[in-house]
Structure 1
Amino acid sequence: MGGWRVPGYTELSVLGEGAQGRVVLARHDATGRPAAIKYLAEATARDARFRERFRGEAELLRRLHNPYVARLYGLVETPDGAAIVMEAVDGASLKAVLAERGPLRPEAALAVLKGSLLGLAAAHDLGIVHRDYKPANVIVRADGLSKLIDFGVAADAGEAGRSGTPVYMAPEQWRDEPASPATDVYAAACVFFECVTGRRPYTAEDQAGLMGRHLHAPVPVGDVPEPLRPLVARGLAKDPWERPLGAAAFVAELESAAAAAYGPGWEGNGVRALAGAAAALSVLFPLTALGLGSGGAAGAAGAAGAAGTAGAAGAGGSGAGAAGTAGAAGKGVLGALGAKGAVAIAGGAAVVAAGGAATYVAVAQDDPPAPKPVVVQLAALNEPQQRLTGGGTWRAEGQIVTVTGIRDAALATKVNQALRAPLDRRFAENRGKLGQYPTAFTDVVRPSILLRSDRLLSVWYETDVRGNVGTGWNAPRAVTVDLKTGTEYRAIDLFRSRDRRTLAPIDGKVAARLPGGVFCQGDSRFGNDTTLASLLGPDEVAMALTPSGVRVGFMGAQLGYPSACGKEVAQVPYADVAPMLKPDLLAGVPYPSPTRS
């Protein structure tokens, strides 16, 4: 580390270190408050890519104001080094709890899953996929409540890569396909399976065998209690479209299954069991070991006593119950420090990185109750068959994005109508164009969430007309919806101006992000003077906001390209187009911000 330290803090102990950095427990000199400081190793800090990833992790944590996710004090960068300063709290990783106690009672497994899932849902709301959910990254505090840690490999939804821990990686991660909130749901289902059975759902002697089982082996639902089998089957579905859309949707299904199987007091029972399991490890908690915490058995016992009433309220109907339980545990119980890898420090008090940067978890002492989440979910799309004028038939199937949890019924209806609007227009257009053919046609729709914040929801619809037609029918559709007003933003609505001359630069911005930096890999326009900007008004171009830029999709033939061009999709960073977009929409983009201060 070259001897550099964050000014104003006195280091108390090293909690863990690896090739890319280390985590220390420190005390703030002015206030005496303990903190966890994650240092980027000196060699790593000189790498611009690691620096940017480190900043991104800090930015994500800064925006995640949630009682189930770490609280950030700040990012410190100097020419000598970089560090993230967090609150430091006592607790044990779920990995340590399972090693000490073995399988958990179903209610305890459900409770530990729910707490960390609510933290995961907050990240999903920002368009972020964790990509490394596992027992070592779930912390159980002395009050029995759980938290999610380590966003070191988190990424924007839609980013591909094999980052993660193999035994919990979803099939799409193994195939190096784009990650989505459903990717985290798969890992959470793996962890839940391990909690109730004491083993992982899939094991193998080598990585190739493990990949094969995650990709093709049946879901071992027979090993879990019968009432929980549908929950596990849904979470471990091979196809991400068949899983709950994200953590919030998985929590909703979890609560329903738990209440039906174990009664309304399931959460209180689970929290008490978790508090007892954590208490067995409390002598190893980092702060308790230094006499700085009040976590210990007494705090756990206090939490367990309160859990019977506060826990039953839930932590997601729920937030108030969680806050009440935390309060009963004592003000000094704050959480745990931990990270990637399998190396245990101080006998298991903190799990740290063996081959990567160490990490942490923390939460404020006076966290506000978590609100009941607005749930974004997939609903079945099954439009009935219709007879066309030319003797053929048309129908639609697949999935559509819907929203629940909005209190204002009229607003909820308006939001869901806006989410469906681009498909309704597509269906009407296709029925008109296909009406002359005596053929059976099926419109198939598969959606994905590009962005979700407390205000904006962007959805991308991949479409496929099945029947005697060419690929030119399969243009994508997209929409961005304001969850506060129900406003639908089509492509043209994202821009400050509708004037073609003002919009003309968009052609070059999109072309630069396509293969070869040009439309259709260099094919000519055959004398057609149509521009992308001229097509923004109708539904010829799909365009929606993402956390890092604007996604644009269209069929090459629409610009006069040869039909072989097919579909083209580009991701245009905000740095290229932010001045052209409406400022109030940019303000609703959660992470990363279009411009960095």
Structure 2
Amino acid sequence: MSGWRVPGYTELSVLGEGGQGRVVLARHDATGRVAAIKYVLGADLPRERFRAEAALLARVRDPHIAQVYGLVEDAEGAAIVMEAVDGASLKHVLAERGALAPEAALGVLKGSLLGLAAAHAVGVVHRDYKPANVVVRADGLSKLIDFGIAADAGAADRSGTPVYMAPEQWRAEPASPATDVYAATCVFVECVTGRRPFEAAGLAELRERHLNGPVPVDGVPELLRPLVLSGLAKDPWDRPAGAEAFVTRLEAVASDAYGPGWEERGVRLLAGAVAALAALFPLTALGIAPGGAAAAGGAAAAGGGAAGGSAAGGSAAAKGAAGVLAGKAGIAAAGAAVVVAAAGGAAYVAASGDGKKPPKPVPLSFALAAYSDPATAPQLTPGGRLVQARGGSPELAKKINAALRAPLDARQQYYRTSLQSYRAAPATSAVQARIVLNGPRYLSVVYDVTLNSKELSHPTWNRSLAVNVDLRTGAPLALPAILGEKGLTAAGTQRLAALLQKGSQGGCLAEKRPAISRRQLTDPNPYVVAALDKSDLVVLVDDVGLGGITACGQETVRVPYSGLGAYVRPDVVRDAGA
């Protein structure tokens, strides 16, 4: 690592070092304020990742998370300047005290979940929640730290700490808020029992236990076991949808088990547990009062394996950051901002140096936009309107928009191929969009697509499409995923067929029950698709593909979730708003 340091700071101590960074406690020379500064470790690490980390963390604002103020960067190095906290890591607390009282364990879990919920609200998934990333203060309150491998919801790889990794992380599948719920539940089990939920001799065995082993509830109080079983479900769809939903469940379970005063007792117990570790508090060890830090009570630690527990942080120095701004190399990634201490306060300095405070993130919203097919084949000229996401996380919005337009592009390609096969004259197509369900978890859209061709003029060319998108991950949700394994059994498909016939408003389905099978539903071009609504599935049935009368074309039938019963996934029904 180079000898570059953020100008204007005097290093006081090293708080941790690891594969992803080095954190030091430093004092700003001009104001005396203390900061935790995280430096990139090793010239071989890409700066783009460091910049991305700073950008992700700057989106999160919550008292349960140690605040990141900004990125300082020049040709020699880069560093993230962080908020301050005086406390000990939960890792050290557990090593010193072993199992915690249930109320204390629930208190740690609730505080961490509230911090994770704030991150989930802006589309950020932590992916590496563990005891070393939670700091417990002297007053018994805790803060979540170190988003070193945080990512936008939907990112897929095997990053994480193996003993706390969710099954989908082991399979390198997309991360979601439910991934953090799994890790938080693992830590809760460790807090309340004094041991990790899954232990093994090697990685292969550990992977097998996370993927297929029974949920370990031995040692967990009986009344808290449903909480653990829910949070450690193998399928992320069977867990609470996110940290906020899990907090709601936790509070109900904790109140039933330990009474309305459980949280206050838990905080007191945590304060007692951490008192013996006061010598590890970074500010206390240096004789610095918390009031002298940039933000009383904050914390930060090195990303990805930093040794030790807690850290302290503040704001970047006016002298240091301003000096970097004036340097030849410039500062920060495009669009990032540096926080500079000035006269005891904080001022934002944009990367362009214009001195304006960055705009607040725009909430995710949806609007109709012109649809134009990127293909330039002369056989077809498409037009109309599609639904498009705006605001929110750029990466998440990009995934949502890709999911929203993919079936339309596929339909246009089908039209082009057909026109070529029939040697038909050039034609046009039109798209009309209807939003059926708009949040909070899912967006469901029906596209009415028509082909205007003299040769291909049969009504069967004009079939509507249904698109469902998970707003948490940006992933599409087709009918098979809505029904789940039970719904795709022979009994499940027969129930769906019966409900379609019953709900038909005088169409062909009323006369002939469709012969639906798992194979038909999972076909790349299914003849039955559906959009989610609050209380019903809006099912679009192509009678031709199901052996119906050719003249029938396509019918739309509303199927109540209540009618499907066990043959539709309950978490999808719940999150749709039923």
TM range (shorter): 0.5 to 0.7
Q: 1:137 aligns with which of 108, 133, 156?
A: 133
Q: 2:369 aligns with which of 495, 498, 501?
A: 495
1:35 maps to a residue whose letter is A
Q: Residue in 2 aligned with 1:176?
A: 172
What secondary structure is seen at the aligned counterpart in 2 of 1:10? strand
Evaluate the alpha carbon distance shift between residue 331 and residue 142 of structure 1 in structure 2; reply closer, same or farther with a 3 A threshold: farther
Evaluate the alpha carbon distance shift between residue 501 and residue 551 of structure 1 in structure 2; reply closer, same or farther with a 3 A threshold: farther
Say whether 1:82 aligns with 2:87: no
Q: 1:542 aligns with which of 467, 488, 502?
A: 467
Evaluate the alpha carbon distance shift between residue 242 and residue 6 of structure 1 in structure 2; reply closer, same or farther with a 3 A threshold: same
2:383 and 2:429 in contact (8 A); partners too: no
**Alpha-carbon distance between aligned partners in 2 of 1:44 and 1:361, rounded to the nearest angstrom:** 27
**Alpha-carbon distance between aligned partners in 2 of 1:245 and 1:553, rounded to the nearest angstrom:** 15
Q: Residue in 2 aligned with 1:35?
A: 35
Shift of 1:531: 7.9
Q: Residue in 2 aligned with 1:334?
A: 297
Where do residues 580-591 of structure 1 align in structure 2 (5 Å cutoff)? none
What secondary structure is seen at the aligned counterpart in 1 of 2:431? helix
2:254 and 2:262 in contact (8 A); partners too: yes
Evaluate the alpha carbon distance shift between residue 148 and residue 527 of structure 1 in structure 2; reply closer, same or farther with a 3 A threshold: same
Q: Residue in 2 aligned with 1:7?
A: 7
Evaluate the alpha carbon distance shift between residue 76 and residue 158 of structure 1 in structure 2; reply closer, same or farther with a 3 A threshold: same
Evaluate the alpha carbon distance shift between residue 220 and residue 543 of structure 1 in structure 2; reply closer, same or farther with a 3 A threshold: closer
Q: 1:527 aligns with which of 393, 402, 419?
A: 419
2:22 maps to a residue whose letter is R
Q: Residue in 2 aligned with 1:152?
A: 148
Where do residues 463-502 of structure 1 align in structure 2 (5 Å cutoff)? 489=366, 493-495=367-369
Q: Deviations over 1:200-227 (max 9, x none)?
A: 1111111111111111111122421111
Say whether 1:63 aligns with 2:59: yes
Evaluate the alpha carbon distance shift between residue 532 and residue 213 of structure 1 in structure 2; reply closer, same or farther with a 3 A threshold: farther
What secondary structure is seen at the aligned counterpart in 2 of 1:534? strand
1:38 and 1:84 in contact (8 A); partners too: yes
Evaluate the alpha carbon distance shift between residue 543 and residue 228 of structure 1 in structure 2; reply closer, same or farther with a 3 A threshold: closer
2:20 and 2:148 in contact (8 A); partners too: no
Q: Deviations over 1:487-515 (max 9, x none)?
A: xx4xxx342789965869x9xx969x989
Evaluate the alpha carbon distance shift between residue 205 and residue 551 of structure 1 in structure 2; reply closer, same or farther with a 3 A threshold: closer
Shift of 1:339: 3.4
2:370 and 2:383 in contact (8 A); partners too: no
Q: Deviations over 1:396-423 (max 9, x none)?
A: xxxxxxxxxxxxxxxxxxxxxxxxxxxx
Shift of 1:18: 3.1
Where do residues 137-536 of structure 1 align in structure 2 (5 Å cutoff)? 137-294=133-290, 333-340=296-303, 344=307, 348-350=308-310, 489=366, 493-495=367-369, 525-527=417-419, 534=431, 536=433
Structure 1: 5+ residue runs without aligned partners?
A: 296-329, 351-359, 365-452, 458-479, 481-488, 556-562, 568-597
2:24 maps to a residue whose letter is V
Evaluate the alpha carbon distance shift between residue 2 and residue 259 of structure 1 in structure 2; reply closer, same or farther with a 3 A threshold: same
Evaluate the alpha carbon distance shift between residue 55 and residue 336 of structure 1 in structure 2; reply closer, same or farther with a 3 A threshold: same
Evaluate the alpha carbon distance shift between residue 545 and residue 82 of structure 1 in structure 2; reply closer, same or farther with a 3 A threshold: farther
**Alpha-carbon distance between aligned partners in 2 of 1:530 and 1:223, rounded to the nearest angstrom:** 69
Shift of 1:42: 4.8
Q: Residue in 2 aligned with 1:95?
A: 91
Evaluate the alpha carbon distance shift between residue 3 and residue 535 of structure 1 in structure 2; reply closer, same or farther with a 3 A threshold: same
Number of residue-to-residue matches in the alignment: 384
1:137 and 1:150 in contact (8 A); partners too: yes
Evaluate the alpha carbon distance shift between residue 105 and residue 564 of structure 1 in structure 2; reply closer, same or farther with a 3 A threshold: closer
Evaluate the alpha carbon distance shift between residue 243 and residue 543 of structure 1 in structure 2; reply closer, same or farther with a 3 A threshold: closer
**Alpha-carbon distance between aligned partners in 2 of 1:143 and 1:249, rounded to the nearest angstrom:** 26
Shift of 1:338: 2.2
Evaluate the alpha carbon distance shift between residue 249 and residue 4 of structure 1 in structure 2; reply closer, same or farther with a 3 A threshold: same
Q: Deviations over 1:173-202 (max 9, x none)?
A: 112222111111111111100101011111
1:197 and 1:223 in contact (8 A); partners too: yes
**Alpha-carbon distance between aligned partners in 1 of 2:68 and 2:175, rounded to the nearest angstrom:** 25
Evaluate the alpha carbon distance shift between residue 545 and residue 248 of structure 1 in structure 2; reply closer, same or farther with a 3 A threshold: closer
2:21 and 2:303 in contact (8 A); partners too: no
**When the two structures are superposed, what TM-score results if normalisation uses the length of structure 2?**
0.59
2:262 maps to a residue whose letter is W
1:525 maps to a residue whose letter is T
**Alpha-carbon distance between aligned partners in 2 of 1:243 and 1:6, rounded to the nearest angstrom:** 43
1:21 maps to a residue whose letter is G
Say whether 1:113 aligns with 2:38: no
1:134 and 1:188 in contact (8 A); partners too: yes
1:221 and 1:229 in contact (8 A); partners too: yes
1:90 and 1:293 in contact (8 A); partners too: no
Which structure has the bigger radius of gyration? 2
What secondary structure is seen at the aligned counterpart in 2 of 1:223? coil
2:382 and 2:428 in contact (8 A); partners too: no
Shift of 1:235: 0.8
What secondary structure is seen at the aligned counterpart in 2 of 1:22? strand
Evaluate the alpha carbon distance shift between residue 530 and residue 115 of structure 1 in structure 2; reply closer, same or farther with a 3 A threshold: farther
**Alpha-carbon distance between aligned partners in 1 of 2:86 and 2:241, rounded to the nearest angstrom:** 32
**When the two structures are superposed, what TM-score results if normalisation uses the length of structure 1?**
0.57
What secondary structure is seen at the aligned counterpart in 2 of 1:164? coil
Evaluate the alpha carbon distance shift between residue 220 and residue 553 of structure 1 in structure 2; reply closer, same or farther with a 3 A threshold: closer
**Alpha-carbon distance between aligned partners in 1 of 2:119 and 2:298, rounded to the nearest angstrom:** 19
1:159 maps to a residue whose letter is A
Q: Deviations over 1:358-400 (max 9, x none)?
A: xx67699xxxxxxxxxxxxxxxxxxxxxxxxxxxxxxxxxxxx
Shift of 1:270: 0.6
Say whether 1:122 aligns with 2:118: yes
Evaluate the alpha carbon distance shift between residue 22 and residue 332 of structure 1 in structure 2; reply closer, same or farther with a 3 A threshold: closer
**Alpha-carbon distance between aligned partners in 2 of 1:245 and 1:87, rounded to the nearest angstrom:** 29
**Alpha-carbon distance between aligned partners in 2 of 1:140 and 1:245, rounded to the nearest angstrom:** 26
What secondary structure is seen at the aligned counterpart in 1 of 2:39? strand
Q: Deviations over 1:222-255 (max 9, x none)?
A: 4211111111111111121111111111111111
2:184 maps to a residue whose letter is A
